[in-house]
Amino acid sequence: MKVAHNFNAGPCVLPKPAVAAAIDALQDFKGTGMSVIEVSHRSKEWEAVMEECRTLWKEILGIPEGYKVLFLGGGASMQFLYVAMNLLEKKAGYLETGVWAKKALKEAKGFGEAVAIASSADKNFSYIPKGYQIPSDLDYFHITTNNTIYGTEIKEDMDCPVNLVADMSSDIMSRPVDVSKYALIYGGAQKNVGPAGVTFVIVREDILGKVSRYLPTMLDYRTHIKEDSMFNTPPVFSIFVMNETLKWIKANGGLQAVHKMNVDKANLLYNEIDRNKMFEGTAAVADRSLMNICFVMTEQYKDKEEAFMAFAKERGMVGIKGHRSVGGFRASVYNACPVDSIKALVDCMQEFEKLNA
């Protein structure tokens, strides 16, 4: 079997036990004689999976009372719309740290006054803004905690004077989170907790039902709370794999252990980027992401970029090409990305340096 070192930004690398369980369930789901993609979502076997998955989210993240966990479709991009439709009555503030934050802000502007409180656009989103003031008259303040394209991350849970909303698509379950500091957390599963097709939402119930506008049934969070995320047929396969991924996180010591592992993996690659005279990081050192490590060739070796890409591909590196909007390289080292893959990439960079520098 071909060995690939998967650094794709999404869909993500998945834990091998989760993939194995998915293969089994595709053939026979819990002894029903049916595949998991055939079984009724109203069956007791499937409802048990939904309940287990919700319970694991609550347990692993330490979600307090008063919050609901939802599994929806449409991806994080649909949540840009959901958030503003359900929460924006007068004014919302956004922290503009990249492409996805800009897209979220654009959607909000369709429902009322929405403004960028601070932005890092002046330096191509290479840092997280600091020292800004959050107005107390906002309905909510929206942040994107990890920026996959630019490789920056907000690594701590901020104190916020208004309802704090976070798109955590690409760093959820990578570190402990104080959920009580957030009014709403959402994200697409495919960056760190499962395959594409399901979106997670963690919402504090008391923030809902405050807007005066009409909310279409399907776009009202309360609809999905009332129906336990089964108002319509849920994305069963994606939820099944998510559940198996959460089991793997729990079995590996929970978020404290996972976070340590992620710090060690990221440091391994950042240390090589900083040491190797052919490469340099693109994000401000203090704001470097643990999930998406972005780097480029130094000015002296710019002409070697395509050669390194081919060199790395020959050695099994997959998905290290930077986002089309910024170029360079990007290694996405999500939870299930094994340390051996990072070591293989470091070895590749060192070998390329010896041959070309």
Active-site residue (options: 46, 57, 68, 100): 100
Active-site residue (options: 155, 191, 265, 321): 191
End-to-end CA distance of the chain: 34
Separation CA 234–CA 264 (nearest Å): 36
CA separation, residue 284 to residues 12, 120, 144 (Å): 24, 11, 17
Residue 321: active-site member = no
137 contacts: CB under 8 Å, gap ≥ 6: 90, 91
Give the neighbor-by-neighbor strand order of the sheet with 279-281.
279-281, 292-297, 329-332
Vertex 69: Cα angle to 134 and 140 (nearest 5): 15
Token pair recorded at residue 7: 């650094």
Dump the DSSP string for 314-325.
HTTEES-BPPTT
Residue 191: active-site member = yes
Residue 100: active-site member = yes
Neighbours of 54 (CB within 10 A): 19
List phi, psi (to 5°) of 202.
-115, 115
Active-site residue (options: 46, 139, 155, 167): 167
Q: Which residues are catalytic?
A: 100, 167, 191
